[in-house]
Chain A
Amino acid sequence: MTVNASSGGPFARVLSIASAVPSRVVDNAEMCTYIDSSDEWIQQRTGIVERRWVAEGEDAESLAMDAATKAIERAGLTASDIDAVIVSTVSHFKQTPGLAPKLAAKLGTDGAAAFDISAACAGFCYGIAMGESLVRSGAAKKALVIGVETLSKLTDLHDRTTAFLFADGAGAAVIGASDTNGIGPVVWGSDGEQSGVIDQNVDLLESGRTGVPAVLTMEGQAVFRWATGFIADAARRTLAVSGVDATELDVFAPHQANNRITDSMLRHLKLPSTVKVARTIKTMGNNSAASIPIALDSMLASGEAKSGDKALIIGFGAGLVYAGQVIELP
Chain B
Amino acid sequence: MATTEEIRTSLAELVNDVAGVPVEDVQLDKSFTEDLDVDSLAMVEIIVGCEEKFGVTIPDEDSKKLKTVGDAVAYIESHQ
Shortest Cβ distance from A46 into chain B, in angstroms? 9
Contact of B17 with A221 in the complex, beta carbons under 8 Å:
no
Is B44 touching A221 in the complex (CB atoms < 8 A)? Answer: yes
Interface size on B, residues (CB 8 A): 13
**B36 contacts partner chain A, Cβ-Cβ < 8 Å:** no
Q: How far is the CA of A224 from the CA of B49 in the complex (A)?
A: 13
Q: Which residues of B contact A225 (CB under 8 A)?
A: 44, 47-48, 60
Q: Is the CB of B51 within 8 A of A229?
A: yes
Q: How far is the CA of A228 from the CA of B51 in the complex (A)?
A: 12
B18 within 8 A of A: yes
Most buried by A among B44, B51, B60: B44
CA distance A229 to B48 in the complex (A): 6
Q: DSSP class of B's interface residues: helix, strand, loop or mixed?
A: helix
Chain B residues with Cβ below 8 Å from A221 are 40-41, 44, 60
Q: Does A260 count as interface, using CB distance less than 8 angstroms?
A: yes
Report which of A44, A45, A222, A267 forms a contact with B17, defined as CB distance below 8 A.
A267
Chain A interface residue number, banded: 10 to 19
Query: Smallest CB–CB gap between B56 and chain A, Å?
Result: 13
Chain B residue numbers with a CB within 8 Å of A228 are 44-45, 48
- Within 8 Å by CB of A260, from B41, B47, B60, lies B41
Q: B39: which A residues are within 8 A, CB to CB?
A: 44-45
Query: In the complex, what distance in Å separates the CA atom of A175 from the CA atom of B52?
Result: 38
- Tell yes or no: A264 within 8 A of B by CB: yes
B44 contact set on A, CB distance < 8 A? 221, 224-225, 228
Residues in chain A near residue B48, CB distance under 8 A: 225, 228-229
Bound Cα distance A222, B61 (Å): 12
Which residues of chain B come closer than 8 Å to A264, judged between CB atoms? Answer: 18, 45
The 6 closest A-B pairs by CB, nearest first: A229-B48, A224-B44, A225-B44, A260-B41, A228-B45, A228-B48
Can you list 18 pairs linking A and B with CB atoms under 8 Å apart? A45-B39, A45-B41, A221-B40, A221-B60, A224-B41, A224-B45, A225-B47, A225-B48, A225-B60, A228-B45, A228-B48, A229-B51, A229-B52, A260-B41, A260-B42, A260-B45, A264-B45, A267-B18
